[in-house]
């Protein structure tokens, strides 16, 4: 009996030794911080956006390593770097603020085309006008952990209008003809209907007209009365949704008017290759 009890005591002692050994091997690792990175660029003051250089680099940013440190040494985790672009005065609170992200690399180059898309296409900055933008970098580990924000750089930029998706009328004028309008398919357009069937030129790439349309009639847009040389219509006539607008092409099928007769506003945008038909 005594030998049996001794064996139990030895076994229990070994168990405690193993448990104590496991507990001693546990090591708590703590995040101890990092060094705020410094942002710099290969340009100062102005970023030139020139359409013919669209595939070239507009600007290259670089920054110092934040050297995130944990209690067991420098972090080996991937770091996410977010370049933030905003307008001066918004101070990075603009809902249209743009972010360019990358991981681990300590630099980023943005092409003329991509920067122009961010500024004009996504931030809505007007073409051909000077704007002041500010850029900063936010470094972080994982999801918003250990965020460090750099200094801010400021630049002057002038976004350019990209080439229109559809070439606008060479005449600078646009007319509508077809069974959907009072003048029918007459081309040249009858002088009595000419002004009523001519679009107003809103810009070099946008034309708009308010006109009565015959329900389910057909029509085309032409650049010049008396010529079929430049004509535009829907890309796919069989698409029923395009009676109220959509994509259009040069020398396409006839466009179909909405099924109900009435007065409509037709807005044609050659820049994006889209048109809309809205009942007034």
Q: What CATH number is given to the structural domain containing 206?
A: 2.60.40.3620
What's the pLDDT band for 144 if we cut at 50, 70, 90? Answer: confident
pTM for the model stands at 0.59
Write the CATH number for 63.
Answer: 2.60.40.10
In this model, does residue 1 exceed pLDDT 50? no
User: Where among 95, 125, 157 does a domain terminate?
Assistant: 157
Q: Are residues 203 and 256 located together in one domain of the fold? A: yes
Could you tell me which residue, 114 or 238, shows the higher pLDDT?
114
For 232-251, b where at least 16 C-beta lie within 10 A, e where not — what string? bbbeeeeeeebbebbbbeee
Mean pLDDT of 192-200: 98
Together in a domain, 49 and 150: yes
Q: Do both 64 and 98 map to the same domain? A: yes
Q: Of 105, 127, 157, at which residue does a domain stop?
A: 157
Residue 194: strand, helix, or coil: helix
Per-residue DSSP letter, 232: E
| Residues 90, 184 within the same domain | no
Asked if residue 228 lies in contact with residue 169, where contact means CB atoms within 8 angstroms, the answer is no
Average pLDDT over residues 215-224: 97
d(CA 88, CA 217): 51
Q: Which of 103, 78, 98, 74 is nearest to 86 (CA)?
A: 98
Quick one: tokens of 19? 């448990």
CA distance 24 to 88: 55
Cβ atoms 236, 181 nearer than 8 A: no
**Model confidence band, residue 29 (pLDDT cutoffs 50, 70, 90):** low
Q: Pick the range with the lowest mean pLDDT from 83-87, 191-195, 268-272.
A: 268-272
| Percent of the chain surpassing pLDDT 70 | 86
Domain that holds residue 211: 175-279
Based on the structure, what is the number of domains in the chain? 2
Mark which of 128, 157, 186 sits at the end of a domain: 157
For 41-68, write each residue's pLDDT tens digit.
999 999 999 999 999 999 999 999 999 9
C-beta of residue 227 within 8 angstroms of C-beta of residue 168: no
């Amino acid at each position: 009996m005594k030998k049996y009890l001794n064996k139990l005591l030895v076994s229990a002692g070994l168990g405690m030794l193993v448990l104590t050994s496991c507990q001693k091997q546990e090591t708590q690792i703590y995040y101890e911080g990092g060094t705020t990175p410094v942002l710099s660029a290969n340009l100062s003051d102005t970023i030139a956006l020139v359409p013919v250089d669209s595939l070239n680099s507009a600007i290259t940013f670089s920054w110092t390593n934040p050297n995130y440190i944990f209690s067991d040494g420098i972090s080996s985790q991937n770091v996410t770097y977010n370049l933030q672009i905003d307008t001066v005065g918004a101070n990075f609170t603009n809902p249209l603020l743009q972010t360019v992200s990358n991981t681990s690399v300590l630099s980023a180059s943005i092409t003329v085309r991509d920067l122009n898309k961010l500024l004009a296409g996504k931030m809505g900055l007007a073409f051909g006008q000077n704007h002041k933008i500010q850029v900063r970098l936010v470094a972080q580990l994982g999801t918003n952990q250990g965020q460090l924000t750099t200094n801010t750089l400021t630049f002057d930029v002038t976004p350019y209008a990209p080439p229109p998706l559809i070439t606008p009328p060479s005449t600078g004028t646009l007319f509508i003809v077809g069974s959907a309008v009072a003048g029918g398919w007459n081309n040249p357009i009858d002088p009595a209907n000419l002004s009523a069937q001519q679009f107003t030129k809103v810009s070099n790439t946008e034309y708009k007209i308010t006109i009565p349309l015959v329900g389910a009639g057909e029509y085309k847009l032409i650049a010049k009365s008396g010529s079929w040389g430049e004509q535009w219509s829907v890309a796919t006539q069989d698409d029923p949704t395009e009676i109220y607008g959509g994509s259009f092409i040069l020398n396409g099928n006839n466009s179909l008017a909405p099924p109900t007769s009435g007065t409509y506003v037709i807005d044609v945008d050659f820049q994006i290759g889209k048109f809309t038909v809205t009942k007034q």
